Structure 1
Amino acid sequence: MEKNIARQVLENPKFQKMAKTKSMYCWSYSALMFVIYVIFIMYIGTSPESFGTPVSEGSTTTVGIYVGLFVILFAIAITGVYVRQANGPLEVITQDVVSEVLNNTKTDSASKNAASDTDAVNAAAKEA
């Protein structure tokens, strides 16, 4: 029964569209994060001395600290955006599809039970 419900949810067009959208977000954000990391590593590899450059005269804080902090905060921010989208509108679509499938399943089983109850009443009436 549960496999049947899961199959119905997976085959639902709304669920498939939601899954494609979620996948698109996932791959887009992954590609964007990959590009940021590649640029970061290439910058370190081609110009390591610039990471050691102080931000201002007499400062102990270097450019590298800010660049590294940017990469970390960007990763956190992009993860937050993805989680908000996945747990917001996309989760609502998933819940709607599951409710729809469960309601259809309950309606179908109620119809079958009503039909079997009618058959039982008819059989009892014939015997009487």
Structure 2
Amino acid sequence: MDEAKVERILQNPKFKAMVQKKRNLSWTLTIIMLVVYVGFMLLVGYNKEFLLSSVSGGVTTWGIPLGLGIIVLSFVLCWVYSYIANNTLDQLNAEAIREVEAIAKEKGTH
């Protein structure tokens, strides 16, 4: 594939839309996970007393549900990404691939 065709693919509006949506989604979910995880680590480092305090006067401390919450959040964010990727990004990807294949099949046009 020559450079002119590659450039046409890269300038394809559907390809650009797919790349932009995927980038925005990935960064948004990454930032959410980092903020929660770093927040938890800061809590561990600077406010151990809170994490050691009991949730309801029993033996369960705040550290346990917060730690489990982070694990559950990671699964939820994976599900969110999969759901959006399967329902939105895959459609854009299929449309972009069809157009890319049409561009690749062109013979002799620049």
Structure 2 equivalent of residue 74 of structure 1: 73
CA distance, structure 2, for counterparts of residue 22 and residue 15 of structure 1: 11
Q: Deviations over 1:72-126 (max 9, x none)?
A: 11121112111211222111111112123324555x46xx9xxxxxxxxxxxxxx
Identify the range of structure 1 (95-104 vs 25-34) with the bigger mean alpha-carbon deviation: 95-104
Q: Distance in 1 between matches of 2:64 and 2:33?
A: 19
1:84 and 1:10 map into 2 onto residues whose CA distance is 26
Residue 50 of structure 1 contacts residue 63 of structure 1 at CA under 8 Å; is this kept in 2?
A: yes
Matched, 1:62 2:83: no
Give the AA of the match of 1:11: Q
> Could you tell me how far apart the structure 2 residues matched to 1:99 and 1:51 are?
54
- The structure whose Rg is larger is 1
Given that 2:51 and 2:61 are in contact with CA atoms closer than 8 Å, whether structure 1 keeps it comes out as yes
The range that moved more, 9-18 or 76-85, is 9-18
Q: Does 1:40 align with 2:40?
A: yes
TM-score, normalised to structure 2, is 0.79
Unaligned runs of 5+ residues in structure 2 are none
Instruction: Answer whether contact 1:51 1:63 (CA < 8 A) is retained.
Output: yes
Determine which structure has greater relative contact order: mean sequence separation of CA pairs < 8 Å that are 6+ residues apart, divided by chain length. 2
Distance in 2, Cα, partners of 1:44 & 1:90: 38
RMSD: 2.2
1:102 corresponds in structure 2 to 101
Count residues in correspondence: 106
Taking every aligned residue pair, what percent have the same amino acid on both sides?
31
> Within 2, Cα distance between the matches of 1:18 and 1:65?
39
Structure 1 gap ranges (5+): 113-128
- Aligned-partner Cα distance in 1 for 2:76–2:60: 23
Cα distance between partner residues in 1 of 2:56 and 2:103:
67
